[in-house]
Amino acid sequence: MNNFEKKKRNQFDFFRNRIYNQLRKIMEMNQELETATFAGGCFWCTEAVFLAIEGVKSVRSGYIGGLTQNPTYKEICNGDTGHAEAIEIVFDPNTISFGELLELFFATHDPTTLNRQGNDIGTQYRSEIFYHNENQKQLSLEYISILNHENTFGKLVVTQVSLAPIFYPAETYHSNYYNLNKTQSYCNYVITPKMEKLKKVYSDKLKK
């Protein structure tokens, strides 16, 4: 192998190793991420809350916990599918823990009203945690037990805890709905006050 060929080989090895290291870092980062799935009323609300939280990498709105395959928003609104409006959160547990996400979940919706959040009524608006592992299940059950023991809300928490089944992503126009439609009446009346409360009470957990 002459000098020119050696130089080319060294350059190839350098870029190959660089690409390999970058891919390894991406894989390691993805392995460290976890998923949480919450149903707490209209997913426009819950999505807006968790998109603002430091350590949350992504939030998808969707449908979960029912019988209908590939449900549509129209079908969900009729309340006939058994699905709940929910969000699937991908988060970095090194930045924010599942326990902290639970705290935010319970602080930003009413977990004491069965199949209802404010004027939104129906099983699709139920409060439910869909766990992805045994740790999430136990933390959720313990958290609810503490809330009820301390009578935090003055009423019993009716939030269900269930194993996460198939999550069906919602139609694309629901993605980042609040941030793209803040002047819409529902967003302005229901979600904006919730976001203002979030900024006041949990400013330390918000993305900078």
The three-state DSSP-derived secondary structure of the chain is CCHHHHHHHHHHHHHHHHHHHHHHHHHHHHHHCEEEEEEECCHHHHHHHHHCECCEEEEEEEEECCCCCCCCHHHHHHCCCCCEEEEEEEECCCCCCHHHHHHHHHHCCCCCCCCEECCEECHHHCEEEEECCHHHHHHHHHHHHHHHHCCCCCCCCCCEEEECCCEEECCHHHCCHHHHCCCCHHHHHHHHHHHHHHHHHCHHHECC
* From 29-43, 129-143, 152-166, the region with the lowest mean pLDDT: 29-43
pLDDT of residue 208: 85
* Whether 24 and 122 share a structural domain: no
* Whether 25 and 37 share a structural domain: no
Rounded to a whole number, what is the distance in angstroms from the first to the last CA of the chain?
54
- The band of 80, judged by pLDDT with boundaries at 50, 70 and 90, is confident
Please state the rounded mean pLDDT for residues 108-119.
Answer: 94
* Whether 90 and 173 share a structural domain: yes
* Whether 131 and 143 share a structural domain: yes
Please state the rounded mean pLDDT for residues 54-78.
Answer: 95
* Whether 6 and 63 share a structural domain: no
| Nearest Cα residue to 186 out of 44, 46, 59 | 44
- Domain range for 9 is 1-32
Question: What are the residue numbers of the active site?
Answer: 42
Count of domains forming the chain? 2
* Whether 60 and 4 share a structural domain: no
- The band of 9, judged by pLDDT with boundaries at 50, 70 and 90, is low
Query: Token match 């299940």: residue?
Result: 137
* Whether 6 and 76 share a structural domain: no
pLDDT of residue 74: 93
* Whether 127 and 184 share a structural domain: yes
The answer on pLDDT for 144 being more than 60 is: yes
pLDDT of residue 13: 59
pLDDT, one tens digit per residue, over 168-178 is: 999 999 999 99
pLDDT of residue 1: 59
120-121/116-117 β-pairing:
antiparallel
**Do the Cβ atoms of 178 and 48 come closer than 8 Å?**
yes
| Nearest Cα residue to 127 out of 82, 176, 85 | 85
pTM as predicted: 0.84
* Whether 25 and 62 share a structural domain: no
- Kindly state the greatest CA–CA separation across the chain: 82
CATH of the domain at 161: 3.30.1060.10
- What is the C-alpha to C-alpha distance for residues 160 and 129, in angstroms, rounded to an integer? 6
